[in-house]
């Protein structure tokens, strides 16, 4: 504990000296969340990166998130402490596979979830997040939509916006897709009063048994909608429980697979530790760069999304 406290103090001093802000996603390991200036969901952090006064952003999350921060704040230096922190969902679609899909579905507006590379975003009409996906689809003049890359989020949106014809790409997040409603029901059997909060990357059978479905930060805030509930079953990556317990210390949070850190575990989100953050600050590792034309296309898709009223 003394070692962690010493590293934390060193990192905070270095961040000040280097004019850096530390942003951490809700799935990061507790020590990383604790040392960060801000903890949030992917979109929130990218927008925050634009607004904060610091010239360097140390992004503790996965590569596509750091890339979005760079795209939205091109004049800032964005550092990802571990370049291996990828995302299976973002990797499920490439620029080439999106080009193929676009050719197969002419006349469709392409809506791409932010969990994607800047190259894929640049080939899309507009981006969306788990928080605004339905509003984004509703806002488009086109009747036909090609939704990429998450099939679960895509199907959830299609059900919410039945007036549109939504074709869904076949990608998914394995961390969420592994969960079944039977797992949730098994946990609920011992706590029938529990409220179920799910991320829309979960499969439809899980969404159907959830009381609330929203982005990670909205999942944390959703607790306040249930003042008399003591127990919450959380259907997303287990790292979120750290923020939930911090904000709501008198409530109980159980990961929906019934075993913290077993299946709903994103290995990419656990690739950054305090030593890497210190290294990132000392050595400027690893700077995230996006080709100017790709960045311009991705920025257009992200800014179109940000302009959509919720």
Measured CA to CA, the distance from residue 153 to residue 168 in angstroms comes to: 9
Count of C-beta atoms within a 10 Å radius of residue 86? 16
Give which of 309, 242, 201 is closest to 60, Cα–Cα: 242
180 sits in the region (left: phi over 0; alpha: psi -120 to 50; else beta) called: beta
Question: What's the closest the beta carbon of residue 42 comes to ligand 13P, in angstroms?
Answer: 4
CA angle, residues 20, 23, 29, in degrees to nearest 5: 125
Question: What's the closest the beta carbon of residue 221 comes to ligand 13P, in angstroms?
Answer: 12
* Partner in contact with 181, chosen from ligand SF4, ligand 13P, none, beta carbon below 5 to 8 Å by kind: none
Q: How many residues of this chain interact with ligand 13P, rule: CB under 6 A?
A: 12
56-60 and 165-168 beta bridge pairing: unpaired
Cβ closest to ligand SF4, residue 15 vs residue 172:
172
Task: Say if residue 231 is exposed, middle or buried (CB neighbours under 10 Å; 0-12, 13-18, 19+).
Answer: middle
DSSP state of 150: B
Question: What's the closest the beta carbon of residue 150 comes to ligand SF4, in angstroms?
Answer: 8
User: What string marks each residue from 171 to 190 as x (binds ligand 13P by CB under 6 A) or -?
Assistant: --x-----------------
Six-digit token string for 113: 């979830």
* Partner in contact with 116, chosen from ligand 13P, ligand SF4, none, beta carbon below 5 to 8 Å by kind: none
Position among 68, 183, 216, 243 found at the interface with ligand 13P (CB under 6 A): 216
Query: Is 201 in contact with 172 (CB distance < 8 Å)?
Result: yes
195-198 and 212-213 beta bridge pairing: parallel
By the rule CB under 6 A, 215 interacts with ligand 13P: yes
The DSSP element (H or E) to which 175 belongs, if any, is: helix 174-177
Position among 166, 201, 274, 281 found at the interface with ligand 13P (CB under 6 A): 201
By the rule CB under 6 A, 132 interacts with ligand 13P: no
Please identify the residue of the shown chain whose CB is closest to the bound ligand 13P.
Answer: 41
* Partner in contact with 88, chosen from ligand SF4, ligand 13P, none, beta carbon below 5 to 8 Å by kind: ligand SF4
By the rule CB under 6 A, 302 interacts with ligand 13P: no
For the four alpha carbons of 72, 47, 57 and 270, in that order, the dihedral sign comes to negative
The SS3 of residue 124 is coil
* Partner in contact with 215, chosen from ligand 13P, ligand SF4, none, beta carbon below 5 to 8 Å by kind: ligand 13P
Position among 56, 82, 92, 115 found at the interface with ligand 13P (CB under 6 A): 115
* Partner in contact with 216, chosen from ligand 13P, ligand SF4, none, beta carbon below 5 to 8 Å by kind: ligand 13P
Binding-site ranges for ligand 13P (CB under 6 A): 26, 41-43, 115, 129-130, 173, 199, 201, 215-216
């Amino acid at each position: 504990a003394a070692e962690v406290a010493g590293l934390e103090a060193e990192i905070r001093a270095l961040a000040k000296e280097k004019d850096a802000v530390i942003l951490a996603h809700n799935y990061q390991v507790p020590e990383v969340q604790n040392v960060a200036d801000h903890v949030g969901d992917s979109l929130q952090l990218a927008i925050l990166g634009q607004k904060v006064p610091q010239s360097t952003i140390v992004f503790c999350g996965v590569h596509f998130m750091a890339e979005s921060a760079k795209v939205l704040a091109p004049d800032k230096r964005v550092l990802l402490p571990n370049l291996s922190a990828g995302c299976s969902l973002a990797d499920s679609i490439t620029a080439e596979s999106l080009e193929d899909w676009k050719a197969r579905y002419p006349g469709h507006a392409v809506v791409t979830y932010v969990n994607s590379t800047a190259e894929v975003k640049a080939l899309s009409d507009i981006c969306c997040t788990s928080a605004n996906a339905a509003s984004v689809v509703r806002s488009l003049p086109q009747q036909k939509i090609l939704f990429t890359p998450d099939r679960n989020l895509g199907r959830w949106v299609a059900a919410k916006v039945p007036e549109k014809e939504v074709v869904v790409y076949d990608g998914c997040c394995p961390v969420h897709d592994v969960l079944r409603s039977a797992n949730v029901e098994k946990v609920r059997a011992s706590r029938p009063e529990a409220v179920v909060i799910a991320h829309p990357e979960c499969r439809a059978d899980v969404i159907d048994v959830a009381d609330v479905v929203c982005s990670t930060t909205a999942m944390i805030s959703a607790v306040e909608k249930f003042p008399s509930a003591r127990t919450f079953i959380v259907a997303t990556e287990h790292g979120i429980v750290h923020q939930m317990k911090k904000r709501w210390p008198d409530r109980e949070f159980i990961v929906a697979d019934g075993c913290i850190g077993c299946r709903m575990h994103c290995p990419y989100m656990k690739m950054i530790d305090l030593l890497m953050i210190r290294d990132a600050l000392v050595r400027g590792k690893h700077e995230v760069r996006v080709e100017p034309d790709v960045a311009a296309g991705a920025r257009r898709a992200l800014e179109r999304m940000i302009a959509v009223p919720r």
